[in-house]
Each structure stands twice: as structure tokens, then as C-alpha cells.
Amino acid sequence: MLGQKSIGLKLLIYNVILLALVSIIIGISYGSSTSYSREYNFIANLYRELSLFYRQMQVSRNDAQNYFYSMTDDKLIDYRNSFNTASKNLDNIMEQVNNPYLWYRFTILRNMMVSCNEQFEKMQFHGGNRPSYAGNYQYLMYLFELTDGTQREYYSYLVNYTEIRQIAIQNLWKRMTLLVTLIVAGIILIALFFSLSSSRWVTRPINSIVSNIQKIKMGEYDLRQVKDSGPEFAVLGEAFDDMASSISSNIQSIETNARLRQQLLEIENENLRINEQLIASELTVLQDQMNPHFLFNTLSMISQIASIENAHQAAELIDITTNLLRYSLDKSNRMSTLHEEIECVRNYFHIQRLRFGDRITFELHDDENIPNTMLPGMLLQPLIENAVLHGVGGMVKGALVTVSITRKNEFLFLSVEDNGRGISAEKLEELLNDDSYPSKDSNSRIHIGIINAKKRLEILFGRSARFHVESTEDVGTLITISIICFETETGAGGGFV
């Protein structure tokens, strides 16, 4: 009876394991199909909501035209209902999108939509008696056309987003397939193991007892194999346990004491290491107590002393340096504006003119009508510094560094050009290769400003930004950056952020 119960228990465990593995496979298959269905519904809902949004915006445009033709309350209510419906469609899209860049693009679309409504409300409030009514009406229609013209662009955004999510689902499916394969292999191995072990359920415990008798003769007292062989051999195992328990307990006690001593030694070593780290941390804290505020206050005090002593040029230089340092600390890892970046370039040029005198000419060309576009802080200064240090720094005369800022259509172009020694074609190819540059060679760090600027643009603007480098040895280098012109407020170009 004992033997039958032991075998039955083993069979039960085997069946439970198989059932659990099969349940896992079923769960994975169900989860995969559910994920595909949920992803399909999610993508389909995004396309449906975007289609409804553009359809309602067209209805809003028609309702706006009808209202200004008739000036009746019914038409006004129709416009507001259609506009609110379009707003809800866009809200539904933004609530479901979890991609930061895509959410940012739909925020721009919302701003365009809000501008349409603001222009409508402005005209509705003033009525048709103002002289500029026709111009305002044309501008309102222009805003609606501008919004409607983004359909192809935003559908392409959804296509790209769908491709990204599809790749993620495919990768997940591959991992699940691999997991199912491993589980099936595990089932086969378990079945093979059960088949082999079942034939030894009777002979193996007897062989274990004989083996342990020999171990006792040799001075070994580990009889766990007998204990783990099943309840039918419990009586025989207890006899061997009683015989070996005294000596085995002493041996285990000695081994336990040795382990405890080793653990205590390891704890003491760890405490010494922690104490050393605490001392090093305290020294670091003391060294870091001189923060940027102390530096700015000190520079301000030096500037005031220079002014009192009539060293006005020195005071001006200190003020410019202070502004440049403050901008560098505040905006090096944040977004800034074009006007702030231009001011930073002017300050840097002023300092370099005082430093190099007539050796290097610094020129800044910018259009006053360019909107105050958002862009990464400290974007141009590292490129200018690279041009000075590694481009024209070795020239005795005739050196020129030029910064140009222009706008063409919806793109903003920023360029830094020098007539210095240039970059070889091999090094330029290596410089623009993300996989191999910068290397551990110290010479590769000379163009780290170019690399950082390129990486920041890729992270913040993705494929919409362009970073182009042209260079010829002994002729010069031209770096051109192009980004979509996003204004911080509504400007003449009609851009929105």
C-alpha cells in the first residue's frame, strides 16, 4: 500500500505539472490573440477618430460660412456643435496616443484648431461693421484651409506610428512563440524523465540504502537520499539516521560555526568599504558647496568694483561673461528660443573679438522678421567654438567665422561657417557615423560639439531635423542645421506651437 501511494503521488505531481504547462500555452495563445485584436481596434479607432475630426472641421468651415452669410442663431449653434464634435474627436486621439512626439504633433493640430475658433469668435463678436471684416473672413478661411491641408501629414504620422507598434507586436509574438517552444520542449523532457525514473522507483531506493551503508563505513553521514526516496523506505531510513545523527550533528555544528565566522568577516569588510564611501561622499559634498550662485555673485561684485574704478570695459566683459555662463547653465539641457540663442552668440562673439582682435572676424547675419522659434539651448555656441579652436584658431590673419540664420517656407536654417583648415573626407565620414564615433581615441574628442548637436537634434526633432556638414581641407567647413519653424506665439507666418 505504501508503495502504491508513493507512485500515485508521483503520478499526480507529473499530471499537475503537465496541466500547468498546457494551461500556460493556452494562456499565451489567448493573450497573443487578444493583444492582436486589441491593437487592431486601437489603430482602427485612431484612424476613425482622425477621419471624423477632419470631416467635422470641414462641416465647421461650412457652418461658419453659412453663419456669416445669414447671421442667424441657428447657424451659430450648428457651427459650435460641429466644432465641439471635432474637438472631442481630437481629444479622443490625444488620450489614446502614448508616443511623446506624436502627442506633440497633435498638440500643434489642436493649436491650429483653437486659432480657427478664436478667429471665428472674434468676427462673431465684432459683427460685420468693422472695415477689416473681409480680411478677417479671408484669414478665417485660410486657417480652416491650413488645418484641412494637414490631412496627408497626420495620416502619415499614424502610418509610422502603426508600423512601430506592429513591429513591437511582432517582436512580442516571436518571444511568445519561443516561450511556447521552450514549454513544449520542457513537456517532452519531463515526459522522458518520468519514463526513465519510473523504472527505477523500486531499485533506486534499495541501491541508495546500500550506498549509504558504505558511506557510514567511510565516515560519511549524509543520508538524505534515503529520506527522499519515498515513505515506503522511511523505517529503514530512520534506523540509519539514529545511528549517524550524533556524529553528523557535530560535523554540521563545526561547519556552521565556520560559515558564521566567514560571514562576520565579510560583513566587517563591507562595513569598512561603506565607511570609505561615506568619507569620500562627505568630501565631495564639501567640494560642491561652491555652487553657481556663489560664482554669479562673485562676478557681479567684481563687475561693480570695476565700474567704481572706471574699468568700464572690464565691467562690461564681466557682465557679458556672467550672462553667457548663466545661459549655459540654464539652457544646456533644456529648450530655449531663437532670440535667446542669438543673444548668446552675440555675447560669445564679443568675448572672442576682445580675445583675438583683428586675427579673426566674427559675423552674424539674421533676419529681424524670423519668428522666435523653439530650439535646443546652447546649440550654436559649441559649433562656433569648434570652428574657432579647430578651424581658424591657427590662422594669423584673414580668419572668418560666420553665423547665418534664415527662414525658407516652414523651415529655419542655421549655419556656422569658417575658412579654416577643414576636415578630411575620411574623418568627416567617421565623424558622421553614429556607430563608430566618437571612439576611445583622444583625438576623436576634438569635434564633440558637432556630435552632441547632431544627437540632440535627432532626439528632439527626429527625422524632421537635418544636420549637414560640408568641409574641404585648407578651405573651410560649413555646418547647416534645418528644423521646422515652430513659433512660440502666432506670427506672420501662421505657425503654431
The domain spans of the chain are 2-180, 204-214+216-285, 332-484
Query: Is 70 exceeded by the pLDDT of residue 155?
Result: yes
pLDDT (average), residues 432-460: 67
Do residues 383 and 348 lie in contact, with contact meaning Cβ atoms separated by under 8 Å?
Answer: no
Examine domains 2-180 and 332-484 and report if their fold is the same: no
Distances (CA, A) of 260 to 253, 255, 264, 318: 11, 9, 6, 64
Residue 434 has pLDDT above 70, yes or no: no
CATH of the structural domain 332-484, one choice from 3.30.565.10, 3.40.50.10320, 3.10.520.10, 3.90.70.10? 3.30.565.10
pLDDT of 377 over the 50 cut = yes
Q: Which three cell numbers stand for residue 47?
A: 484612424
Residues β-bridged to residue 412:
407, 483
CB-hemisphere CA count at 13 Å for 31?
14
Identify the top-confidence range among 331-340, 427-436, 459-468: 459-468
Confidence of residue 100 (pLDDT cuts 50, 70, 90): confident
Percent share of the chain, pLDDT over 70: 74
Cα 242 to Cα 207: distance, rounded to the nearest angstrom: 20
Q: Determine the pLDDT at residue 158.
A: 86
Mean pLDDT score across all residues of the chain: 78
Q: Work out the pLDDT band at 288, boundaries 50, 70, 90.
A: very low
- Rounded to an integer, what distance in angstroms lies between the CA atom of residue 75 and that of residue 63? 6
CB 93 within 8 A of CB 52: no
Average pLDDT over every residue of 371-383: 90
Yes or no: is domain 2-180 CATH 3.30.420?
no
| Distance between CA atoms of residues 449 and 418, nearest Å | 15
- Predicted confidence at residue 282, as pLDDT, reads 47
Position with higher pLDDT, 271 vs 375: 375
